[in-house]
Amino acid sequence: MHSRRYSIHRFTGCVLSLLCLAAVLTPLSAFAALGGDMNSVVNDEAGLHGNLLSTPTSSFTIHEIRSESGTVIREYMSRTGTVFAVSWRGPWLPDMKQLLGSYFQQYEDAAQAQTSVHGGRRPLQIAQPEFVLQLSGHPRSFVGRAYLPNMLPANVQAEAIQ
């Protein structure tokens, strides 16, 4: 009986250890997706353990989050409260699935197509009527942006997204 109780405690301890390890190794999905709202910005700040700086302009607000790891995410929010663009720079590529939301599949398809044609690492450009993405870099230095052309506020050019 004593050895059975020991085995159960040992098994429980192993399971808890594995769950803790999985939580530590799972990347934080802490970026707002295109089309997100202010709640996603607040969640990003907490998830990244970063500092949020919001800068209003005449047409939109830039919510910039600087993480402890050095990654900077900018979320461009329209006056209606929708994230119409995101940009990033830093030593690590962000979680693109969370960052791009429903546009992730278009990104993934374009990246796979480019790899099969060119191989290796090259800047990635996607220019579709409803979705634009530009990504370049290498470990310790990534930069990119994605935006929804149809959701750009009036009188705002894509060059404003940096």
Residue 14 lies in a domain: no
* Amino acid at residue number 56: P
Look at the block and give the residue holding tokens 């050095």.
70
Which H/E stretch holds residue 142?
A: strand 141-147
Give me the domain span that covers residue 153: 29-160
Residue 15 lies in a domain: no
Q: What are the φ and ψ backbone dihedral angles of 7, each rounded to 5 degrees? A: -65, -40
Closest CA to 145 of 29, 28, 34, 30: 34
pLDDT, tens digit, 9 for 90 and up, residues 87-142: 999 998 888 887 888 889 999 998 888 877 766 567 999 999 999 999 999 889 99
Q: Say what the pTM is.
A: 0.74
CA distance 61 to 103: 22
pLDDT, tens digit, 9 for 90 and up, residues 26-82: 333 445 578 778 877 777 777 777 888 999 999 999 999 898 888 899 999 999 999
Residue 64 lies in a domain: yes
